[in-house]
C-alpha cells in the first residue's frame, strides 16, 4: 500500500476513547523489544514514526494510527517485560480484553514473534487469547536477518508448531534491517480490510 497520509488519532486506554471513523482496523501485538516499532515504521515508510520503546513495558495505551482513508493500524502495548508491576500487568489485560472482545471494526491481528527464538509463554498466551476472540491472525517472525538462511524455514516451522498455527494460516518472515517481508504483510492486511 502506498501510504500518503498517516496520523496518530489517539492513545486510548478505554473503549469510549476509540476512534469513531468506522475504518477497518488491523492491530499489531508482540512482546516488548520484538521489533514492533520498527515493523510499523517500515510498513508506513516513515523513519521514527512509531517511537521505539526506550522503557519497555511502560506504554500501556492502544495507539490508533489512521492510514490514508483506508484503515486504522493499532499499536498494542508490548508485553512480557520482566520488570512490570502486577498492577501494570493487570492493566494490560484489561486494555486488551476490552479491545479484542468488543471492537467491531477489528479485521485482524498481526502477532510479532522474534524469529531467533521459540515463541515465549507470553507469546503463546497472546496467540491463544486472540484466537479465543475469533480474530484472524497473521504471525510475523521479526529479525530474520539474524537467522542464517539455512535455518530460516526451520525457524518458521518451529514458531508454527509451538503456537499451533493452523495450516491454512500464514507465518511470514520479516527484517527491518533488510527491509524484507513488508509487501507480504501489506498483502494480508489489504485482503483482511477488503472483507
Ligand atoms: P519494540 O519494543 O517492539 O517496538 O521494538 P523496536 O522496534 O524498538 O526494536 C527493538 C530492538 O530490536 C532495537 O534495538 C531494534 O534496532 C532491533 N530490531 C528491530 N527490528 C530488527 C530487525 O529486523 N533486525 C535486527 N537485527 N534488529 C532489529
Report the pLDDT averaged over residues 153-180.
97
Compute, in angstroms, the gap from residue 35 CA to the centroid of ligand 1: 4
Is residue 44 predicted with pLDDT exceeding 70? Answer: yes
> How would residue 47 be classed by pLDDT, with cut points 50, 70 and 90?
confident
Compute, in angstroms, the gap from residue 111 CA to the centroid of ligand 1: 15
Cβ(36) – ligand 1 distance below 6 Å:
yes
Q: Yes or no: say if 112 and 28 are a contact pair by the CB < 8 Å rule.
A: yes
Q: Which domains, ranges and CATH numbers included, belong to the chain? A: 6-193 (3.40.50.300)
Q: What is the DSSP letter of 93?
A: H
Is residue 45 predicted with pLDDT exceeding 90? Answer: yes
Enumerate residues 6+ apart whose C-beta is below 8 A from 142.
Answer: 30, 34, 35, 38, 39, 112, 113, 114, 115, 174, 175, 176
Cβ(180) – ligand 1 distance below 6 Å:
no
Buried (b) or exposed (e) across 5-36, using 16+ Cβ within 10 A? ebeebeebbeeeebbeeebbbbbbbbbbbbbb
Is residue 118 predicted with pLDDT exceeding 90? Answer: yes
**ipTM of the complex, rounded to two decimals:** 0.99
Is residue 49 predicted with pLDDT exceeding 90? Answer: no
pLDDT at residue 88, rounded to an integer: 87
> For residues 39 and 59, which has the higher predicted lDDT (pLDDT)?
39
Q: Yes or no: say if 60 and 35 are a contact pair by the CB < 8 Å rule.
A: no
For residue 36, give the ligand 1 atom closest to its CA: 3
pLDDT at residue 191, rounded to an integer: 98
pLDDT at residue 56, rounded to an integer: 57
Q: Is 11 helix (H, G, I), strand (E, B) or coil?
A: strand
Ligand 1 atom 2, closest CA: 33
pLDDT at residue 53, rounded to an integer: 55
Is residue 146 predicted with pLDDT exceeding 90? Answer: yes
Cβ(11) – ligand 1 distance below 6 Å:
no
Q: Which of 29, 42, 52, 123 maximizes ligand 1 atoms within 8 Å of its Cβ, making it the mutation to test the pocket?
A: 52
- Ordered DSSP codes for 13-79: SSGGGS--S---EEEEEEBTTSSHHHHHHHHTT-TTSSPP-SSTT---SEEEEEETTTEEEEEPPPB
Cβ(33) – ligand 1 distance below 6 Å:
yes
Cell of 109: 491481528
pLDDT at residue 74, rounded to an integer: 97
pLDDT at residue 59, rounded to an integer: 62
Cβ(156) – ligand 1 distance below 6 Å:
no
Cβ(177) – ligand 1 distance below 6 Å:
yes
pLDDT over 70, % of the chain: 95
Compute the residue count for the chain. Answer: 195
Ligand 1 atom 24, closest CA: 143
Cβ(59) – ligand 1 distance below 6 Å:
no
Please write the tens of the pLDDT for every residue from 50-86. 776 555 556 689 999 999 999 999 999 999 887 788 8
Amino acid at each position: 500500500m502506498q501510504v500518503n497520509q498517516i496520523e496518530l488519532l489517539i492513545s486510548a486506554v478505554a473503549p469510549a476513547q476509540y476512534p469513531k471513523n468506522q475504518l477497518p482496523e488491523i492491530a499489531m501485538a508482540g512482546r516488548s523489544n520484538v521489533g514492533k516499532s520498527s515493523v510499523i515504521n517500515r510498513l508506513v515508510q516513515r523513519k521514527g514514526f512509531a517511537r521505539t520503546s526506550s522503557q519497555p513495558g511502560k506504554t500501556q495505551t492502544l495507539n490508533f494510527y489512521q492510514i490514508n482513508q483506508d484503515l486504522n493500524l493499532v499499536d498494542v502495548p508490548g508485553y512480557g517485560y520482566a520488570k512490570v508491576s502486577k498492577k501494570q500487568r493487570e492493566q494490560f489485560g484489561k486494555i486488551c480484553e476490552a479491545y479484542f472482545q468488543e471492537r467491531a471494526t477489528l479485521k485482524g491481528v498481526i502477532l510479532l514473534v522474534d524469529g531467533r527464538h521459540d515463541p515465549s509463554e507470553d507469546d503463546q498466551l497472546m496467540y491463544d487469547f486472540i484466537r479465543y476472540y475469533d480474530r484472524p491472525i497473521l504471525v510475523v517472525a521479526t529479525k530474520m536477518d539474524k537467522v542464517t538462511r539455512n535455518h530460516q524455514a526451520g525457524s518458521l516451522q518451529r514458531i508454527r508448531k509451538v503456537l499451533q498455527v493452523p495450516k491454512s494460516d500464514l507465518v511470514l518472515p520479516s527484517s527491518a534491517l533488510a527491509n524484507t517481508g513488508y509487501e507480504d504483510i501489506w498483502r494480508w492486511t489489504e485482503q483482511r480490510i477488503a472483507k
